[in-house]
Structure 1
Amino acid sequence: MRHAPHPVDVAVGLGSHDLGVAAHCAALYRAGLFTTLLFTGGNSPGTLAWFPRGEATHFREHAIALGVPDEAILVEPRAANTGENIAFSRDLLAAAGIVPRSVLLVCKPYMERRAYATTRKLWPEVEVTCASVPLEFDAYVKTIGDEKLVVDMLVGDLQRVIEYPKRGFAVEQDVPEEVLAAYASLVDAGFDGHLLRGAVTDGA
């Protein structure tokens, strides 16, 4: 999204297989951009082996190890998809008496646009800024250690950017023709491990 991180009321770290999200949240906290950090995420089939006690729980522990005070962190441990990440985070904050006007979403680099589109749909009253670890693609793949996994996830994320507005899960995002062509090429090449079945977009 190329957003410039700036001080906000609350940061929300979106759970996933990438513990680098928690580390980046900790770095942004130490930079003084927020005083409240919420981690959200239960488990998906792809993260259960990595984070058996839940994504948000493991992210919290990692952030604390990196210097974020325990009292600065809230944990939402149930969300199983991005829509639930946003809706459950909003509700947990409200239950804690926190009604933010500005939110920083911290997630995987290729997930920024989908997280943004989902939040604009489900939490339209807040100003949304996105942040992720500032790495080029090759460097990011090395941090994960599995190129096929990263490309599968990237392709699946783009499919959701395209498909989810039709289902009422997110606001529309402009997808350039060259991006659609690259998407179709990657699907044809077998990078389909994270696709929504029955909804493969052919770029037409």
Structure 2
Amino acid sequence: MISAEVWADAQVLWDYQRMGHELRPCSVGIGLGSHDLGVADVTADLYHRGMFPLIVFTGATSRTTEARMPRGEAEHYRDRALGLGVPASVILVEPNARNTGENISFSRDLLEKHGVDITSALLVSKPYEERRAYATARKLWPTVDIVSASSPMTLMEYVDGLGNAQLVLDMLVGAQQRLLVYPAQGFAIRQAVPDRVVAAYERLRTAGFTSRCLPD
């Protein structure tokens, strides 16, 4: 049983990770690979709304996705988008990235290889990865204007959809840890983290939601 206090702390992290960027048309939409096919759904919807003329789906597999997405996250995202009416001609697939930094770097390199001039990118991620995706892209692709987006669902809607509260809370804590430690390692820009967010993160770590954390 997960306590009300734990859910309250999880909500603090969830709200912090959501950046609330105003959506605007960009040169490209980049769907960041993960276990969540909803990323492809959101990317397809934004394409149909005219937010970008070109899509890159990026991602290999991870321990979470190797069984359910054996051909790679980007390939499964592509299939999902095609099923939602996105033309194959506007989708590029980057099949090798295994982390957020590689998602950004390999997508950038793929676009350069295809001679696509990029001035802005709309990153589509899981809801609790918006801020880390933004911070990573700003560090690795500083010449490009970055907009971060995800599904508008609530924390509880996301948990219900995945059917695994422990995993969602572990992932929230892991995402927050990376925001705190990656700037010093050169992987992301530094961002202001309110004290209440740090406190919620530390309480969740103490409570044991650490399976997706980096080793200390």
Q: Which TM bucket (shorter chain)?
A: over 0.9
Report the counterpart of residue 170 of structure 1 in structure 2: 188
Report the counterpart of residue 93 of structure 1 in structure 2: 111
Give the Cα separation in 1 of the matches to 2:138 and 2:109: 16
Give the Cα separation in 1 of the matches to 2:94 and 2:157: 30
Structure 1 runs of 4+ aligned residues shifted over 4 Å read none
What pairs up with 1:10-159 in 2 under 5 angstroms? 10-159=28-177
Asked whether 1:188 is paired with 2:206, we answer yes
Report deviation, 1:44: 1.1
Report deviation, 1:99: 2.2
Give the Cα separation in 2 of the matches to 1:74 and 1:144: 27
Report deviation, 1:186: 0.7
Q: Which amino acid aligns with 1:125?
A: T
Deviations 1:38-95 (A, max 9, x none): 0000011111111111000000000100110111100000001100000000000000
Q: What SS does structure 1 have at the residue aligned with 2:197?
A: helix
Give the Cα separation in 1 of the matches to 2:105 and 2:134: 13
Alignment RMSD (CA, Å): 0.7
Give the Cα separation in 2 of the matches to 1:49 and 1:197: 25
Give the Cα separation in 2 of the matches to 1:17 and 1:178: 29
Q: Which amino acid aligns with 1:15?
A: G
The count of corresponding residues between Structure 1 and Structure 2 is 198
Q: Which amino acid aligns with 2:39?
A: V
Report the counterpart of residue 4 of structure 2 in structure 1: none
Give the Cα separation in 2 of the matches to 1:190 and 1:165: 24
Give the Cα separation in 2 of the matches to 1:110 and 1:58: 21
Deviations 1:143-179 (A, max 9, x none): 2111111111110000000000010000001111111
Give the Cα separation in 2 of the matches to 1:50 and 1:99: 34
The two structures have a TM-score, normalised by structure 2, of: 0.90
The two structures have a TM-score, normalised by structure 1, of: 0.96
